[in-house]
Structure 1
Amino acid sequence: MDLLADYRIPFVSLKPGKHELRMRVRPEFFACFPHSDVDQVHGEVFVELDKLDTTMTLRLSLEATMTTPCDRCLDDVSISLTGSDRVSIRFGDETSYDDELWVLGSNEYQLDLADAIFQLVHLAKPKRNVHENEEDCDLDMTEWQDSSQDEGNKADDIDPRWAALKGLDN
């Protein structure tokens, strides 16, 4: 069974005008991308396809929730993901995909949105995955981090046998 079939739009059968679709984003979707660093995402992508005779415009809007380990305490944290993208689609001799312009060859009959949705989710991810309030973090883990940082400061004390080497310049 093709898990990505739901993310294809057969545009040749659509009449000119605006067409609105909803596509679910689930962990099964990310299982199709083995090198993905997200997997626990649940939400929807709202798709608006404006089809004209010679061009199409595609708008994607993401609303989802990602569950991932907190970077601070390693406890699970739910993070809201929102994002949008717009792609212009033209018809040409050969198929090519760019960030904002897709050119479809004469033998194309459907739009495959799987990669675009995959990229939209990854671009919506925050740089750091942490609880909004540090108080929500696992107390045992934050205490352990604080104690290991204190030990790290003690480790900065240099053994006197090696202290003389610090004065040597290359």
Structure 2
Amino acid sequence: MGKFSAYKLPLKTLPHGSHAFDYKLQKQFFVDMESADIRDADLDVHVDVNYKGDLYEITLTVKGEITLICDRCLDDLQWPVDTTFHIFVKYGPDYNDDSDELLEIPESDAELNIAYMIYDTVALTIPIKHVHPLGKCNRAMSSLLKKHRAPGHIESDGDDDEMMDEMIEEVETEQMQPDTADDDDVPTDPRWDELKKLK
């Protein structure tokens, strides 16, 4: 049994009318897809198939949350997903996906596997830069980045400068606020402990 066999729509055996299919996507789906960006997921996928004789109208609705890696601090970042994908499918002499709105599949295909459609729909919701809101990044990493920022660096991207300025402002704001928790009681991340030894 293939990894994505559960995502096959039995188009040839569907009677005329509307049909619904539901899927639950979690981490394993994205592991099987070999996704580098999505580390975990809790997504509900609802698929509506409306068969109109010579045309199948397919609507995918995906809602839930995925886990990404923050580009700034490398901690997990929860990203909400609420998106829809709409496509028409019809049978033809050969496979043809030249159009964004119409997919043609060979007459010999009794089923349509929509696993990659679902994956692409989710992947398109991920922004180019995925970062925590200001003030939510890992404090230890933010402090290290500020400390190791090269003074008077010349060759840098404007966006990087802006990001670094935001991070410095974030660290300075955090340093001005009283820390209500006792530092000894707060568990530390062993990755940062190892980095601190390099100082």
Smaller-chain TM-score bracket: 0.7 to 0.9
Where do 1:86-165 residues align within 5 Å? 86-98=86-98, 99-132=100-133, 134-149=134-149, 152-153=150-151
Q: Distance in 1 between matches of 2:81 and 2:56?
A: 26
1:38 aligns with 2:73: no
Whether the 8 Å CA contact 1:3–1:28 is kept in 2: the answer is: no
1:83 aligns with 2:87: no
**RMSD (Å) for aligned C-alpha atoms:** 1.8
Q: Distance in 1 between matches of 2:35 and 2:139?
A: 32
Query: How far apart are residue 35 of structure 1 and its match?
Result: 5.4
Which has the bigger relative contact order, CA under 8 A and spacing at least 6? 1
Change (3 A) 1:15 1:146: same
Query: How far apart are residue 9 of structure 1 and its match?
Result: 0.9
Query: How far apart are residue 155 of structure 1 and its match?
Result: 6.3
Q: Distance in 2 between matches of 1:7 and 1:19?
A: 14
Alignment: residue pair count: 153
Query: How far apart are residue 90 of structure 1 and its match?
Result: 1.6
Judging by fraction of residues, say which structure has more strand: 1
SS of corresponding position for 1:96: coil
1:72 aligns with 2:67: no
Q: Structure 1: any 5+ residue segments left out of the alignment?
A: 157-170
Q: Structure 2: any 5+ residue segments left out of the alignment?
A: 155-199
Q: Distance in 1 between matches of 2:145 and 2:101?
A: 44
Query: How far apart are residue 87 of structure 1 and its match?
Result: 0.7
Q: Distance in 2 between matches of 1:36 and 1:143?
A: 27
